[in-house]
């Protein structure tokens, strides 16, 4: 069962409104095992809307049209769907009364324009949920179906959860779920990961399930997403767990987290497990490192604090000094190379003092000041992560 999403509204194309509806709908479809291969946007133009929805029907078994059900002249989704169904619109007096009651309950008067919202294509049925003045529609087109929902997020979501998802599953004639897990990596490029996983991807392409995909997340690394479809959640999770084990064996310790984990949440948990506290000395990151750590440890139970200075004498002295100053078990310093160090531009010194044990690493980083700082933060956290893993 394939379902396409068509988001309607010129404001979406102009960037005046960000289309979060389509991404939410796509997520819900995946959760109930409905494949969604396309999501498109189209402006408030009859011909372009009709063409877009007809193309969607050719590709998919169902189409969810989101938006264009309001009372104004540019809200023409009902008219376009009627044309595709080759039927007339009829005005539902019961819907008009319901809209009128909504206005009166708020101490307002319904204007004539709202009557347009009660125009229903012949053969279509109303979606029972109607949180606002725009009724949703279930519109059969041969053996396929168009669902029309408002663009107002809470109204759309009520109709999706209350009617559409269950209806799609019923039409599909089978129950299935699609689940994903994201493995978060740091230390390799997207092309490098693709090369390392090339043989595995070839094997999975032949099987068809599960699948792998790459997601670049800027200065937070590259994600590898595992997606599986199965009869239920337990079966899907089992497929994902098995594939994750294989991917971990291929990629090793460049995988630092899963799903919503960040480098700092992973590091703080590793410190917690080992009964260690942390303090940091920042010579170039300007407090960015301390801010990220304190955001994840608001009570400062693991992260004890940090010192920010323009220049530290050297990284090792800074790490030891900050550990003592804050009474922490671990002192972590990140210091930029100075001209007198005779190091290439972008050189960063990182040093760890773990209860007197010394660990050091030097990296060379690119970018302007902002990017340089953020790259330094993620690198020094990764340095800490890898060192802790050896303890």
CATH number at residue 335: 3.90.950.20
Indicate whether 147 pLDDT > 90: yes
| One domain for residues 30 and 113 | yes
| One domain for residues 43 and 145 | yes
| One domain for residues 77 and 182 | no
| One domain for residues 375 and 300 | yes
Phi and psi at residue 127, to the nearest 5°: -75, 130
Mean pLDDT, to the nearest integer, of 5-34? 93
| One domain for residues 213 and 164 | no
134 touches 69 (CB < 8 A): yes
| One domain for residues 194 and 134 | no
Residue 179: how many other CB atoms lie within 10 Å: 20
Task: Quote the tokens at residue 203.
Answer: 């094997």
| One domain for residues 30 and 167 | yes
Indicate whether 342 pLDDT > 90: no
Alpha-carbon distance 118 to 93, whole Å? 7
Whether residue 266 is contained in a domain is answered as no
Indicate whether 285 pLDDT > 90: no
Alpha-carbon distance 33 to 368, whole Å? 44
Q: Which of 228, 258, 288 is the last residue of a domain?
A: 258
| One domain for residues 186 and 85 | no
Look at residue 51 in the predicted model and tell me its pLDDT: 98
Confidence of residue 283 (pLDDT cuts 50, 70, 90): confident
| One domain for residues 307 and 373 | yes
| One domain for residues 247 and 307 | no
Between 120 and 176, name the one with better pLDDT. 120
β-strand pairing of 62-66 with 144-149: parallel
Name residue, tokens 């100053």.
325
Residue 45, helix vs strand vs coil: coil
Indicate whether 232 pLDDT > 90: no
Give me the sheet containing 330-336, strands edge to edge.
303-308, 278-282, 330-336, 347-354, 357-364
64 touches 6 (CB < 8 A): yes
Confidence of residue 76 (pLDDT cuts 50, 70, 90): very high
Whether residue 234 is contained in a domain is answered as yes
Q: Which of 229, 258, 287 is the last residue of a domain?
A: 258
Look at residue 225 in the predicted model and tell me its pLDDT: 92
Domain with 26, as residue range(s), is 3-172
Task: Quote the tokens at residue 315.
Answer: 């990284």
Percent of the chain with pLDDT over 90: 78
Q: What is the pTM of this model?
A: 0.72
Look at residue 339 in the predicted model and tell me its pLDDT: 64
Whether residue 265 is contained in a domain is answered as no
Alpha-carbon distance 32 to 27, whole Å? 9
Average pLDDT, the chain: 92
Indicate whether 189 pLDDT > 90: no
379 touches 371 (CB < 8 A): no
Mean pLDDT, to the nearest integer, of 119-142? 96
Number of domains making up the chain? 3
35 touches 2 (CB < 8 A): yes
Write the CATH number for 210: 3.30.70.2860
Look at residue 340 in the predicted model and tell me its pLDDT: 65
210 touches 178 (CB < 8 A): no
Look at residue 220 in the predicted model and tell me its pLDDT: 85
Look at residue 123 in the predicted model and tell me its pLDDT: 96
Between 208 and 345, name the one with better pLDDT. 208
Confidence of residue 217 (pLDDT cuts 50, 70, 90): confident
Mean pLDDT, to the nearest integer, of 191-202? 92
Segment among 9-18, 139-148, 371-380 with least mean pLDDT: 371-380
Alpha-carbon distance 379 to 17, whole Å? 36
Q: Which of 216, 231, 258 is the last residue of a domain?
A: 258
| One domain for residues 234 and 343 | no
| One domain for residues 344 and 275 | yes
Look at residue 341 in the predicted model and tell me its pLDDT: 67
């Amino acid at each position: 069962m394939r379902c396409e999403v068509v988001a309607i509204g010129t404001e979406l194309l102009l960037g005046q409104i960000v289309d979060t509806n389509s991404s939410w709908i796509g997520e819900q479809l995946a959760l109930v095992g409905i494949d969604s291969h396309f999501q498109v946007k189209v402006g408030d133009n009859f011909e372009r809307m009709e063409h877009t929805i007809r193309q969607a029907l050719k590709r998919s078994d169902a189409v969810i049209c989101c938006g264009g059900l309001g009372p104004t002249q540019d809200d023409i989704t009902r008219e376009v769907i009627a044309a595709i169904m080759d039927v007339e619109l009829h005005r539902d007096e019961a819907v008009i009364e319901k809209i009128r009651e909504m206005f009166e309950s708020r101490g307002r008067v319904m204007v004539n324009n709202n009557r347009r919202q009660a125009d229903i294509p012949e053969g279509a049925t109303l979606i029972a949920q109607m949180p606002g003045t725009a009724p949703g529609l279930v519109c059969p087109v041969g053996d396929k179906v168009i669902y029309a929902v408002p663009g107002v997020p809470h109204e759309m979501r009520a109709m999706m959860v209350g009617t559409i998802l269950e209806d799609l599953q019923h039409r599909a004639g089978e129950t299935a779920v699609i689940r994903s897990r994201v493995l978060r990596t740091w230390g390799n490029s997207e092309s490098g990961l693709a090369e390392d996983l090339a043989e595995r991807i070839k094997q999975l392409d032949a099987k068809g399930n599960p699948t792998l995909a790459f997601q670049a997340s800027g200065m937070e690394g590259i994600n590898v997403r595992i997606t599986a479809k199965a009869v239920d959640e337990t079966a899907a999770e089992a497929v994902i767990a098995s594939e994750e084990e294989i991917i971990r064996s291929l990629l090793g310790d460049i995988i630092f987290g899963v799903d919503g984990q960040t480098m700092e949440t992973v590091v703080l948990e590793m410190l917690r497990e080992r009964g260690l506290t942390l303090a940091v000395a920042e010579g170039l990151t300007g407090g960015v490192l301390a801010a990220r750590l304190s955001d994840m440890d608001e009570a400062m139970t693991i992260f004890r604090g940090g010192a920010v200075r323009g220049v530290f004498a050297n990284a090792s002295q800074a790490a030891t000094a900050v550990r003592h100053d804050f009474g922490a078990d671990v002192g972590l310093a990140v210091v930029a190379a100075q001209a007198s160090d005779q190091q290439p531009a972008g050189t960063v010194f990182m040093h760890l003092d773990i209860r007197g044990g010394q660990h050091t690493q030097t990296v060379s980083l690119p970018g302007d000041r902002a990017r340089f700082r953020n790259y330094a933060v993620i690198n020094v956290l990764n340095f800490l992560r890898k060192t802790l893993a050896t303890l």
